């Protein structure tokens, strides 16, 4: 298989795997699990699965304290994003929630404009207009309109994920994708566990029947580990921008699975809302060609100083 085809297939499969997480979570909710417990078990399972991968790649888990401090804020934002996302499923159509989450490149670009004073281009303004027109159409896609709480949670998920993206790409930590994901998983376990301990109505739930264990395993494997591995293959083969474009399959997968499994109606407003949001997001992604950046890393070995060039890539998904 040539590199372009391999990367394209990997990118599409990665997006489809990630887009399956809302449906797997909703199936787990049917057994009485809440969002925090579902996330806690998802990431505990993913942690068990990723540690052998790190061992096979001979990755050391230890991270210097200064790097851990730099990683703390992006890691907390990542964990909060997934928590808001999973909670939103209890208030609205999972496909619509996944579509709103896909606004994160818009929020990323807006943060770069407001905080880092990047120029607001005409294409960016068009993308914002299309995306929010799409959200307005989605409001009429559900009977009685979208839940206000669900909409706020989905937008909060997209915004905190955008904060994670900006934060992680503004750090100068040289770290592999797998090791970074391992630490993000650890932050997610800690945040989910803390939320369970502090929320008055929540408590730790234990899985009992084989179906619960099976759903937890699939949730930890498919939208987490499989998606990560395929994402890395796609980025290496076709680059970050094209991989991000193929990420449009994420909300489409969530909407399609919602319709097939939970018989959610595919209304005109829903389809047009998704189309407008995807158009707006793709304008941002294609217009922002984030290239790999080289950092010079000084390594002391046997009293000799060695200079190495390390590549950092823009990470749209984890």
The owner of tokens 């730790």 is 204
> Residue 145: which pLDDT band, with cuts at 50, 70 and 90?
low
Contact 308, 170 (CB under 8 A): no
| 58 vs 81 pLDDT, higher one | 81
pLDDT tens for residues 63-78? 888 888 888 998 999 9
Q: Which residues of 181-203 are buried (b: 16+ CB within 10 A; e: fewer)?
A: bbbbbbbbbebbbebbeeeeeee
Which helix H or strand E contains 184, and what residues bound it? helix 177-198
CA distances from 66 to 25, 93, 164, 178, 289 (A): 35, 41, 18, 19, 30
Mean pLDDT for the stretch of residues 36-56: 91
Distance CA 312, CA 176 (A): 9
Distance CA 283, CA 276 (A): 11
DSSP string, 133-155: HHHHHHHTTSTT---HHHHHHHH
pLDDT at 166 over 50: yes
pLDDT at 316 over 90: no
pLDDT of residue 120: 78
Q: What percent of the chain has pLDDT over 70?
A: 87
Across the chain, what does the average pLDDT equal?
82
pLDDT at 41 over 80: yes
pLDDT at 221 over 50: yes
Residue 251's closest CA among 165, 140, 135, 167? 135
| Max CA distance (Å), the chain | 70
> Residue 143: which pLDDT band, with cuts at 50, 70 and 90?
low
Mean pLDDT for the stretch of residues 152-175: 86
Q: What percent of the chain has pLDDT over 90?
A: 27
129 torsion bin: left (phi>0), alpha (psi -120 to 50), beta (else): alpha
Residue 40's closest CA among 231, 257, 228, 185? 185
Mean pLDDT for the stretch of residues 250-270: 85
pLDDT of residue 298: 39
> Residue 295: which pLDDT band, with cuts at 50, 70 and 90?
very low
Residue 188's closest CA among 317, 40, 21? 40
pLDDT of residue 288: 58
Contact 293, 172 (CB under 8 A): no
pLDDT of residue 290: 44
pLDDT of residue 142: 67
pLDDT of residue 198: 92
Mean pLDDT for the stretch of residues 182-203: 91
Distance CA 314, CA 284 (A): 14
């Amino acid at each position: 298989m040539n590199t372009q085809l391999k990367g394209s297939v990997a990118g599409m499969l990665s997006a489809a795997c990630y887009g399956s997480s809302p449906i797997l979570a909703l199936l787990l909710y049917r057994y009485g699990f809440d969002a925090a417990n579902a996330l806690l078990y998802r990431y505990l399972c993913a942690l068990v699965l990723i540690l052998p991968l790190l061992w096979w790649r001979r990755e050391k888990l230890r991270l210097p304290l200064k790097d851990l401090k730099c990683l703390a804020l992006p890691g907390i934002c990542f964990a909060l994003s997934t928590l808001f996302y999973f909670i939103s499923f209890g208030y609205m159509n999972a496909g619509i929630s996944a579509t709103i989450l896909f606004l994160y490149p818009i929020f990323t670009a807006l943060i770069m404009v407001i905080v880092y004073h990047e120029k607001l281009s005409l294409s960016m303004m068009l993308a914002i207009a299309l995306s929010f027109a799409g959200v307005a159409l989605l409001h009429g896609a559900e009977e009685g309109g979208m839940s206000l709480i669900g909409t706020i949670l989905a937008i909060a998920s997209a915004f905190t994920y955008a904060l994670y993206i900006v934060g992680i790409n503004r750090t100068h930590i040289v770290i592999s994708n797998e090791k970074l994901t391992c630490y993000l998983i650890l932050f997610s376990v800690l945040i989910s566990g803390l939320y369970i301990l502090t929320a008055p109505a929540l408590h730790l739930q234990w899985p009992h029947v084989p179906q619960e264990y099976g759903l937890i395993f699939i949730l930890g494997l498919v939208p987490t580990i499989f998606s990560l591995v395929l994402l890395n293959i796609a980025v290496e083969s076709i680059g970050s921008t094209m991989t991000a474009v193929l990420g449009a399959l994420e909300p489409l997968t969530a909407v399609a699975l919602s319709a097939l499994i939970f018989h959610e109606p595919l209304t005109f407003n829903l389809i047009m809302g998704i189309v407008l949001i995807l158009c707006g997001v793709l304008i941002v992604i294609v217009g922002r060609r984030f290239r790999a950046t080289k950092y010079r890393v000084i390594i002391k070995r046997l009293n000799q100083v060695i200079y190495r060039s390390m590549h950092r890539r823009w990470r749209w998904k984890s």
